């Protein structure tokens, strides 16, 4: 331990003697580490925020709708009554099936008029979206055909300002619906801009009476063990029997799309981190170069150490420690800079995608790991070269 401490002190001394050169060498490490930490921290935080928000929507099931590219899409339109026929035919495969609607509708409440999106829903759901007030649509609402609705926080605020929305009435297409619940606002401007933030939710039974005619799509949840192909083939067969053998329908795995989106986010984060890693490779080459220069300059010193009994391992360890210290000093400074950038950018990321936890442990692990790796990998060759010097030839240099 005393010998190792002496080597560390000697390495610090050598770095300090050539502090300008050492600082310039560490500059590449500082830039590389700070860039990779900033990119990794921000991308991972954003990815975590997006994933967390997407997971709050839960399992969105499978959607089946008319294929618009067929010869006669009108003939293939799915009717409200088709749901019962499909349920009777494919009941063993289904956990739940319901018609889905989405329309722009003119709404009026509390003297305020708005043209907003109305979306169908039911008492069956697998999301974990928080409620700001009230409750969700329940089985009694569906069974009795109650004229009830739910609002997003933004639409509730537009209609009723700061007053409670539950119990108030919203009129749309000549139908009055009582507000029973208000969803909590999604944290993240990205999701509000993509999905719209002023939405009214109606039970599909009421939606059908307001907008009779073909439905937009079928939303299906399968029983455990049932594949998408099985349910798609079964439903397609029933719909073709109802609407003609040449009709075509498209199946979308909503949950699979969310998982695919999460995978893409992970790949992007890895790609951005790899780009930052290129700077670390350049920094490592700089450390190797400066250590080779140091070996050349200190050839006589190496010969003297060997002449008084230093072994190859001692010389190698001394120069390897010097390279590692250069790497750690540059990496530590770069980590602080990258961490500062990540913290400063956090508020913008949170505003865009919602709560985005910063992966502190991952940042520290990557910083320490990369610093040690760069120092060891790019410091090994100069250290081996120094250890292999012939003491007699070294003393003559």
What does the angle CA 35 – CA 46 – CA 270 come to, to the nearest 5 degrees?
A: 55
Mention every residue, 6+ apart, whose C-beta is less than 8 A from residue 45.
Answer: 342, 346, 349, 356, 357, 358, 359
CB distance 350 to 356 below 8 Å = yes
100, pLDDT greater than 60: yes
Last residue of a domain, one of 254, 286, 321: 254
Of 84, 120, 95, which Cα lies nearest the Cα of 105? 120
SS (H, E, C) 173-210: CCEEEEEEEEECCCCCHHHHHHHCCCEEEEEHHHHHHH
Among 50-59, 71-80, 380-389, which is the least confidently predicted range? 50-59
Looking at the structure, tell me whether residues 48 and 129 fall in a common domain. no
Looking at the structure, tell me whether residues 70 and 32 fall in a common domain. no
Looking at the structure, tell me whether residues 197 and 233 fall in a common domain. yes
Tell me the Ramachandran region of residue 27: left when phi exceeds 0, alpha when psi lies from -120 to 50, beta otherwise: alpha
pLDDT tens sequence across 342-363 = 888 877 777 766 666 777 777 7
252 vs 6 pLDDT, higher one: 252
115, pLDDT greater than 60: yes
Among 122-131, 198-207, 374-383, which is the least confidently predicted range? 374-383
Looking at the structure, tell me whether residues 351 and 273 fall in a common domain. yes
Looking at the structure, tell me whether residues 146 and 18 fall in a common domain. no
Last residue of a domain, one of 205, 230, 254: 254
Among 32-36, 161-165, 257-261, 281-285, which is the least confidently predicted range? 257-261
Looking at the structure, tell me whether residues 97 and 19 fall in a common domain. no
Query: Which residue in this structure is represented by tokens 């075509």?
Result: 248
Question: Model confidence at 194, in pLDDT bands (50, 70, 90)?
Answer: very low
240 vs 317 pLDDT, higher one: 240
Say what the pLDDT of residue 324 is. Answer: 84
CB distance 198 to 44 below 8 Å = no
Say what the pLDDT of residue 319 is. Answer: 80
Question: Model confidence at 140, in pLDDT bands (50, 70, 90)?
Answer: very high
Looking at the structure, tell me whether residues 200 and 293 fall in a common domain. no
CA 173 → CA 115, 157, 168, 214, 374, distances in Å?
Answer: 11, 21, 17, 17, 67
Last residue of a domain, one of 210, 234, 254: 254
Mention every residue, 6+ apart, whose C-beta is less than 8 A from residue 337.
Answer: 30, 33, 34, 37, 38
Looking at the structure, tell me whether residues 109 and 232 fall in a common domain. yes
Query: Which residue in this structure is represented by tokens 């997407």?
Result: 54
218 vs 43 pLDDT, higher one: 218
Tell me how far apart the alpha carbons of residues 192 and 184 are, in angstroms, rounded to a whole number: 12
Strand 62-66 versus strand 249-253 pairing type: antiparallel
Looking at the structure, tell me whether residues 326 and 296 fall in a common domain. yes
Strand 169-172 versus strand 199-203 pairing type: unpaired
Q: Is 351 helix (H, G, I), strand (E, B) or coil?
A: helix
Looking at the structure, tell me whether residues 204 and 341 fall in a common domain. no
Indicate the DSSP class of residue 167. Answer: T
Looking at the structure, tell me whether residues 277 and 380 fall in a common domain. yes
What is the domain extent for residue 350?
2-55+259-396
What's the alpha-carbon Rg for the chain, to the nearest Å?
33
Looking at the structure, tell me whether residues 207 and 69 fall in a common domain. yes
What is the percent of the chain with per-residue pLDDT over 70, rounded to a whole number? 91
How many domains, in total, are found in the chain?
2
């Amino acid at each position: 331990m005393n010998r190792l401490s002496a080597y560390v002190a000697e390495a610090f001394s050598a770095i300090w003697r050539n502090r300008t050169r050492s600082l310039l060498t560490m500059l590449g490490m500082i830039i590389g580490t700070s860039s990779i930490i900033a990119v990794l921290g921000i991308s991972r935080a954003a990815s975590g925020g997006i994933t967390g928000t997407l997971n709050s929507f839960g399992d969105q099931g499978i959607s089946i709708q008319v294929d618009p590219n067929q010869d006669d899409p009108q003939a293939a339109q799915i009717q409200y009554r088709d749901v019962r026929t499909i349920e009777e035919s494919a009941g063993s495969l289904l956990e739940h099936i319901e018609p889905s609607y989405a329309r722009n509708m003119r709404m009026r409440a509390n003297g305020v008029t708005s043209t907003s999106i109305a979306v169908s829903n039911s008492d069956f759901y697998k999301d974990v979206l928080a409620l700001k007030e009230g409750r969700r649509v329940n089985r009694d609402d569906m069974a009795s055909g109650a004229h009830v609705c739910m609002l997003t926080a933004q639409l509730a605020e537009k209609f009723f300002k700061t007053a409670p929305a539950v119990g108030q009435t919203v009129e749309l297409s000549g139908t009055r619906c009582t507000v029973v619940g208000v969803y909590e606002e999604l944290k993240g401007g990205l999701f509000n801009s993509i999905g719209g933030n002023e939405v009214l939710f109606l039970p599909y039974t009421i939606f059908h009476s307001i907008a009779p005619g073909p439905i937009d799509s079928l939303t299906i949840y399968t029983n455990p063990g049932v594949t998408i192909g099985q349910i798609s083939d079964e439903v397609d067969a029933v719909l073709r029997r109802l609407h003609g053998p040449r009709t075509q329908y498209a199946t979308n795995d909503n949950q699979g799309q969310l998982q695919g989106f999460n995978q893409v986010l992970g790949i992007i984060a890895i790609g951005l981190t790899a780009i930052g890693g290129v700077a670390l490779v350049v920094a490592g080459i700089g450390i190797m170069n400066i250590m080779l220069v140091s070996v050349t300059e200190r050839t006589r010193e190496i010969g003297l150490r060997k002449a008084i009994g230093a072994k190859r391992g001692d010389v190698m360890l001394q120069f390897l420690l010097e390279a590692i210290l250069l790497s750690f000093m540059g990496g530590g400074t770069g980590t602080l800079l990258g961490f500062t950038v990540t913290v400063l950018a956090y508020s913008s990321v949170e505003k865009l995608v919602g709560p985005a936890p910063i992966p502190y442990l991952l940042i520290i692990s990557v910083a320490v790991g990369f610093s040690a790796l760069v120092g060891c990998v790019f410091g090994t060759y100069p250290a081996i070269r120094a250890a292999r010097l012939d003491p007699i030839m070294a003393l003559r240099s």
